[in-house]
Chain A
Amino acid sequence: MSDLETFRKETRAWLEENCPKEMRDAGAGGEDAICWGGKRWTFQSEAQKIWLQRMAAKGWTVPAWPKEYGGGGLSRDEVKILKAEMRRLRARSPLESFGIWMLGPALLKYGTHEQKAHFLPPIARGEIRWCQGYSEPNAGSDLASLQCKCEDKGDHWLINGQKIWTSYADESDWIFVLVRTDPSATKHTGISFILVDMGQEGVSTKPIKLISGKSPFCETFFDDATAPKEHAPGVSAIVGELNKGWDVAKYLLTHEREMIGAGGSGSLFAARSPGEIAAQKSGLGDDGRLEDTLLRGKIAEADVDGWAFMLTMERMKDEAKTGQGVGANSSMLKYYGTELNKRRFELMMDAGGSDELEWEGERTRDGKLARGWLRTKANSIEGGTSEVQLNIIAKRILELPGS
């Protein structure tokens, strides 16, 4: 206990001293304020750069990763304390990336020491930005039917095919891709997980404009793209065993689901909530309550569910700590968290009325809420649709037959 208290004290002091003032506005800037890093990254401010460098030097961009791979080597309890102390200062996260959320955990579990030592530290320092090549035009919910071809050419792999919904592919440096290395094997067994440098002619990307007006997703094309068998001596391009990439993919999807589910609760901490917007926009009655009682009731129910959902994430993490893994419950968190997030944004739009419908202009900061509302529609599609999650719950948790 006293060790943790010392850690808290020191962490607090360090953060107070090292977190630049400009970085103490977590949540205020929304997605626009995120630092993604990578070769092509331009820092939005000097403070953003300094904050990343200082945190990376401590290993605190990835506090739970081992020190030898650029992490902080912190225990779960210490990570909790660090997060809490950062919240206390409203400190922004110094770095977010698919390298941190997805490739890192996959390498930590399935990678060799050489792969970890080669790829993890640049992720931790925000030097290399990764994206994820999973879905294809004909492999969405049925991901394992993917066709992107990868042939063994002796000293290198030759890749041909197309990926879609590749988040931020046009801003990324490297991509981890699910490819078919054995076309004669059954659906789930001929897939491999390969790491590819995007800085080559054979890889091209094309952003897809979405209903929000933004283009976070791309199509990614592989035309005779290559990956050397080894990116450096002893550093294989394939993660895990050849033709066993589906295991890595599934493991990663679990991570992704927890993350997207947690994103659902992210909006619970957001600067605005349906109740607040409703109070501002539609005015309160003499009793200090929202006059629109139907809307009030719906918001109240969503608040109840939101709070109970956050507690459920907490409980499931605590259970995982005592040895019971979150496992298939990541599907439950993903399903519920994303549906809840959509519900909250619908309510915020209801509460905001016509004011929030202005797509451009200062008043709405170019339709910030409206664009966010449209963005949430992807939550229950990306990383496996809600329907896929319900299938997984039915099969893996409830053990219902034949799903």
Chain B
Amino acid sequence: MPLVLTEEQEMLRDAARGFLDAKAPVSALRKLRDTNDPDGFSRDLWKEMAEMGWAGILVDEEFGGADFGFVGAGVLAEEMGRTLTASPFLSTSVLAATALKKLGSDAQRQQSLPKIAAGEMLYALAVDEGAKHAPAKTAMAAEKHGNGFRLSGDKTFIADGHVADKIIVAARSAGAPGEEQGLTLFLVDAKSNGVSVERTQMVDSRNAARIRFDGVEATGDDVLGEVDGGYAALEGVLGAGRAGLAAEMSGAAQTAFKMTVDYLKERKQFGTEIGRFQALQHRAAHLYSEIELAKSATLKALQELDESYDMAGVVCSLAKAKAGAAAKLASQEAVQMHGGIGMTDEYDIGFYMKRIRVAQEMFGDPAFHADRIARLRGY
């Protein structure tokens, strides 16, 4: 398959760009932050996105979705990255939709997927327990209790955790922290007894939460996929999330870069445009190259998810590693080349730096994913 977008995917991109520029520019995120919005995103906007088929971009048509595949989802994520649009897209429409589609029983899919596609139900995926992403180290207990389980433990860095209606949570039903075997995924209602949610105010002004599970009851029907065999399943879902984040970062990096190059052409010092200075030109040209690499790795990961989902994990790591590193560089160079104005809250570039910092950390930073590739290559 050629490493380019199809005509259909390009049309989706163009439509998304027009919509987001009009309805969800960076100023919208700024407003959500400044008004300390309790949701942290606009429910009206989400409704519109659902009407356009975005919420159900991965959901099969029989459940009311657009079934546009991972490349389609990535196209949307990239465009939202350009405008830093706050929405439950990643948590609900990428992570949860993938989990339910790939792992859900018939009943679970029938119950959840139409509501995801309609934008009526919000989800969150709770994996991390420590400051650094390490799914195999999951310690949260899933104790067998009667016919079901009792879930106890603390989860952190959960995107959209404070607005989610349902939480997909990884817990340990067997084995010891550090072992891949023994993980199980559960689908938990956020209103269940024993669930306490703390909204965390993050650097990027986007939604996140810490959630405590204190003896939360789960039945066999709440298990998503296999008992004890949830690690590989979780990896698959995380792969989709990583590729989605890579796409978002790629979009954010491209926009931060464009703002920077525009600034180099217009800002004058020493009587001339600073973009004439070779010291800055070479840094900009290098950054251009890095962003091109990030775009290629990201598109490849999304295509692999569509073509061979089970084998896509490594390429998703590649995309997350490369896009994370390139986007970080883009945001750092952007602030430096903007000079003093780049340090002001009034100017948008800081929002890009903050969002990229959070997105590159989520589900594994570049070092985590580079190390994963090293492991697979036998060193």
Contact = CB atoms under 8 A, between A and B. Distances in A.
Nearest to A298: B370
Given A290-B379, A303-B377, A315-B299, A321 B2 contact: yes
A318 B3 contact: yes
Interface string A389-402: 11101100111111
A308 B294 contact: yes
B379 A308 contact: no
Contact of A308 (B4, B261, B276, B296): B296
A278 interface: yes
B284 A401 contact: no
Contact of A322 (B2, B292, B366): B2
A304 B285 contact: no
A114 interface: no
Contacts of B285: 332, 335, 389-391, 393-394, 397-398
A387 interface: yes
Interface string B1-31: 0111000000000000000000000000000
B371 interface: yes
Nearest to B257: A398
B294 to A, nearest CB: 7
A387 B281 CA distance: 10
Interface residues of B, number: 41
B273 interface: yes
Contacts of A401: 265, 273, 275-276
Interface string B303-345: 0000000000000001001100100000000000000000000
B107 interface: no
Interface string A334-366: 011000000000000000000000000000000
Contacts of A403: 276, 278, 281
Contacts of B294: 308
B374 interface: yes
Nearest to B264: A400
A300 B374 CA distance: 5
Contacts of A278: 379
Interface string B224-236: 0000000000000
Interface string B282-297: 1011101100111111
Contacts of B373: 300, 303-304, 307
Question: Which of B286, B299, B366: most chain A Cβ within 10 A?
Answer: B286
Nearest to B276: A402
Given A296-B379, A394-B285, A308 B297 contact: yes
A309 interface: yes
Dominant secondary structure at the B interface: helix
B289 A335 contact: yes
Contacts of B265: 399-401
Contact of B379 (A275, A315, A319): A275
A289 B285 CA distance: 36
Contact of A332 (B278, B289, B367, B370): B289
A97 B3 CA distance: 29
A390 B281 contact: yes
Given A332-B292, A387-B282, A400-B284, A308 B370 contact: no
Dominant secondary structure at the A interface: helix
Question: Which of A318, A329, A390: most chain B Cβ within 10 A?
Answer: A390
A13 B272 CA distance: 64
A381 interface: no
A314 B3 contact: yes
Contacts of A394: 278, 281-282, 284-285
B378 A275 contact: yes
Nearest to A351: B379
Question: Which of A278, A332, A389: most chain B Cβ within 10 A?
Answer: A332
Contacts of B300: 311
A297 B293 contact: no
A10 interface: no
Contacts of B281: 390-391, 394, 398, 400, 403
Nearest to B4: A318
Interface string A365-403: 000000000000000000000010111011001111111
Contacts of A289: 374-375, 379
Contacts of A329: 292
A299 interface: yes
Given A299-B379, A304-B370, A401-B265, A315 B289 contact: no
Interface of B: 2-4, 261, 264-265, 272-273, 275-276, 278, 281-282, 284-286, 288-289, 292-297, 299-300, 318, 321-322, 325, 366-367, 369-371, 373-375, 377-379
20 contacts: A288-B378, A289-B379, A290-B374, A299-B379, A303-B374, A304-B366, A311-B293, A312-B293, A312-B295, A314-B296, A315-B295, A387-B282, A390-B285, A391-B285, A393-B288, A394-B281, A400-B265, A400-B276, A400-B284, A401-B265
Given A308-B297, A318-B3, 10 more contacts: A276-B378, A303-B377, A311-B3, A311-B300, A314-B3, A322-B4, A394-B281, A398-B261, A399-B265, A403-B276
The 9 nearest A-B residue pairs measured at CB: A394-B281, A393-B285, A300-B374, A300-B370, A311-B296, A318-B2, A308-B293, A315-B3, A275-B379
